[in-house]
Amino acid sequence: MPLPLAPKGPLDKMSFSDLGLSQKVLDAVTATGYTEPTPIQAQAIPEILARRDVLGIAQTGTGKTAAFTLPMMTLLEQGRARARMPRTLILEPTRELAAQVEESFNKYSVGQRLDVALLIGGVSFGDQDIKITRGVDVLIATPGRLLDHFERGKLLLTGIEILVIDEADRMLDMGFIPDIERICKLVPFTRQTLFFSATMPPEIQRLTETFLHNPVRIEVARQSTTASTITQRLVASHGQASAKRETLRRLIRDAEELKNGIIFCNRKSDVHIVYKSLSKHGFNVAALHGDMDQRSRMAALEAFRNGTTQLLVASDVAARGLDIPEVSHVFNYDAPHHAEDYVHRIGRTGRAGRKGTAYTIVSDSDAKVLGAIELLIKSKIEFDGPDLANLPPDEGERRTERGRGRERGERGERSSRARREPRRAREPENVAETDDQPDEHVARETPRAEWPERQERTERAPREERRERPRRDERRPRDRDDDGPTPKGLGEHVPSFMLRSVKLPPKSPEPEEAETAHETED
Ligand code: ADP
Ligand code: MG
């Protein structure tokens, strides 16, 4: 059944006071300095206030957070929270996003008595329990942590009046859909559901058909479009890691009007390597990846936000949807494996009509994914400098080898034929996803009930304690022969306690990355 479309009219004259928000909320909006609502806000707020289910599709940076928090605050002015029974629930895929939504609640709810609790991993259960027991109006949570609290019996979901599922496509990427389905069944059937996503892959479409009741569909920009204010360029590079890093350094150094930039890598191991390499070369840089503890992530993000660090090396998981205003440049160290990630990445720049530049380093092995990206954004991206076919021989690598004897070891082991071939074999596609797991990740292919430790457990341990599981092996196609040498010893059947994460000192390479880690010495 086709969904009803929200009326589309000229929205440029719209003001916040036309939307039906309460005076208190309007005052808070004025205090934040917003002068007019963004299109998604203008269209979603009246519908939410009218108690409709909303399906909001809008690219990152379009103001989706205020589109649901502002009307929620207006609606919450009626009624009071009861012990253990939160009135509204907002689900976010990552801790950072959850923390950010909490921040915006605090910002917009000045002058109101709203109790907000944040349920995310890496924070003690005790404090969170105390808040919940007292009663909260707004609960902001990542799906895993929420279910942990629920299963501990400290939380009742039967009082939920509004359920918000934010960044739904990222939830999908992170394997949270089964958790979301479960949560949707735990909250009252009569609740209002607000669902936001930047893209609408079929799995998300199905989810909305199951859990939204007669929603208003609000789509403010064509799916998977990129802002027209962003200058997008491809930069051809040889595929070797050292050549790519050199290309990256050149791009950063030559970038015009570089205020700040995010460098995206597909693998969290590369985030680490590129970060180390750039620091070594004197760049003002921080890293953001899924293995960092909550405090260091927030610190890195804050330093980047306030301009203390100019560059942030990040993985998709770590950076998705983060509220980082005014990024002037995005550098894709790797072309993303999923075309939709390209849209999200470059959506970090060119926000709110500002100019932005996005460079994507491509090598021979990226032809296929590049095709998918160009198909998705419905335009060709031009090369800055020579394209792949006209890329001069690998001067960079030869120079590096001449100058740096210590790099020869690794390269010497590769045959000249291997050297000409892209490194795909050593970096299989599926490693990217498995390598950079979210904090409370659930392997998508493996229903939780099948995990042995889950059945054995009598007393539930906090989810973080059982976060690390052999996902890499679970998710890797077993018949592939390009994943490296035949496993020795336990092979794929490694007991889970041996796979538990070990805290490493910040600068040392991750164990499985030891092989490539020495490349940072360039
Ligand atoms: P999304 O969730 O769609 O990616 P956010 O809600 O994080 O976007 O908002 C992106 C940025 O836009 C934030 O910095 C936010 O403060 C800002 N913003 C939101 N609404 C407005 C508005 N009406 N006017 C100006 N800036 C806004
Ligand atoms: Mg958002």
The per-residue pLDDT for 504 is: 56
What's the 81 CA to ligand 1 centre distance in angstroms?
Answer: 28
Q: Which two tokens stand for residue 240?
A: 């070797």
Smallest CA separation from ligand 1 atom 13, residue: 323
> What count of other Cβ atoms lies within 10 Å of the Cβ of residue 129?
17
Percent over 90 (pLDDT), the chain: 43
Nearest to 72 by CA among 157, 135, 164, 3: 164
Q: Is residue 173 located within the same domain as residue 247? A: no
Q: Is residue 152 located within the same domain as residue 184? A: yes
Is 398 part of a structural domain of the chain? no
Smallest CA separation from ligand 1 atom 21, residue: 63
Nearest to 364 by CA among 340, 394, 338, 341: 394
The per-residue pLDDT for 140 is: 97
Amino acid at 181: E
- For the chain, the helix, strand and coil percentages under 3-state DSSP, each to the nearest 5: 45, 15, 40
**Mind listing the pLDDT tens digit for each residue in 251-260?**
999 998 899 9
Q: Is residue 43 located within the same domain as residue 191? A: yes
Last residue of some domain: 168, 197, 219?
A: 219
The per-residue pLDDT for 81 is: 86
Residue 360's CATH number: 3.40.50.300
Amino acid at 392: P
Is 382 part of a structural domain of the chain? yes
State the residue range of the domain holding 164: 11-219
Q: Is residue 316 located within the same domain as residue 175? A: no
Average pLDDT value for residue range 496-511: 52
The per-residue pLDDT for 466 is: 37
Smallest CA separation from ligand 1 atom 25, residue: 34
Is the pLDDT at 495 greater than 50, yes or no? yes
**Mind listing the pLDDT tens digit for each residue in 430-459?**
333 333 343 333 333 333 333 332 333 333
**Mind listing the pLDDT tens digit for each residue in 198-226?**
888 888 999 999 999 999 999 886 545 56
The per-residue pLDDT for 320 is: 64
Last residue of some domain: 357, 392, 427?
A: 392
Average pLDDT value for residue range 365-389: 90
The per-residue pLDDT for 483 is: 29
| DSSP one-letter string for 108-149 | HTTTS---EEEE-TTS-HHHHHHHHHH--SEEEE-HHHHHHH
The per-residue pLDDT for 407 is: 39
Q: Is residue 133 located within the same domain as residue 275? A: no
The protein residues having their C-beta less than 5 angstroms from ligand 2 (an ion) are: 64, 321
CA distance 467 to 293: 13
For 94-124, letters b (16+ CB in 10 Å) and e give bbbbbbbbbebbeebbeebebbbbbbbbbee
What's the 18 CA to ligand 1 centre distance in angstroms?
Answer: 19
Is the pLDDT at 263 greater than 90, yes or no? yes
The per-residue pLDDT for 412 is: 35
Reported as a pLDDT band with limits 50, 70 and 90, residue 181 is very high
Quick one: which atom of ligand 1 is closest to the CA of 58?
3
**Mind listing the pLDDT tens digit for each residue in 107-121?**
888 778 889 999 998
The per-residue pLDDT for 124 is: 83
- Residue 28: partners with Cβ closer than 8 Å, 6 or more residues away: 73, 107, 108, 109, 110, 111, 112
Is 336 part of a structural domain of the chain? yes
What's the 114 CA to ligand 1 centre distance in angstroms?
Answer: 21
CA distance 299 to 317: 17
Smallest CA separation from ligand 1 atom 18, residue: 63
Half-sphere exposure of 134 (CA within 13 A, CB side): 14
Is 189 part of a structural domain of the chain? yes
**Mind listing the pLDDT tens digit for each residue in 24-41?**
999 999 888 888 898 899
Average pLDDT, the chain: 76
Is 93 part of a structural domain of the chain? yes
Is 417 part of a structural domain of the chain? no
The per-residue pLDDT for 16 is: 94
Reported as a pLDDT band with limits 50, 70 and 90, residue 519 is very low
Q: Which two tokens stand for residue 389?
A: 């076919």
Average pLDDT value for residue range 63-74: 95
Q: Is residue 325 located within the same domain as residue 385? A: yes
Is the pLDDT at 178 greater than 60, yes or no? yes
Q: Specify the number of domains making up the chain.
A: 2
Is the pLDDT at 242 greater than 90, yes or no? yes
Average pLDDT value for residue range 287-302: 81
Last residue of some domain: 155, 185, 219?
A: 219
Which helix H or strand E contains 182, and what residues bound it? helix 177-186
Q: Is residue 363 located within the same domain as residue 316? A: yes
Q: Is residue 197 located within the same domain as residue 150? A: yes
Q: Is residue 268 located within the same domain as residue 306? A: yes
Q: Is residue 310 located within the same domain as residue 211? A: no
Is 498 part of a structural domain of the chain? no
Q: Is residue 372 located within the same domain as residue 245? A: yes
Q: Is residue 237 located within the same domain as residue 320? A: yes
Is the pLDDT at 313 greater than 90, yes or no? yes
Average pLDDT value for residue range 54-73: 91
- Measure CA 32 to chain center: 25
Is 464 part of a structural domain of the chain? no
Ligand 1, pocket residues at CB < 6 Å: 34, 37-38, 41, 58, 60-66, 321, 323, 325
Which is higher by pLDDT, 303 or 397? 303
Testing ligand 1's pocket by substitution, the residue of 195, 226, 323, 354 carrying the most ligand atoms inside 8 A of its CB is 323
Which is higher by pLDDT, 86 or 356? 86
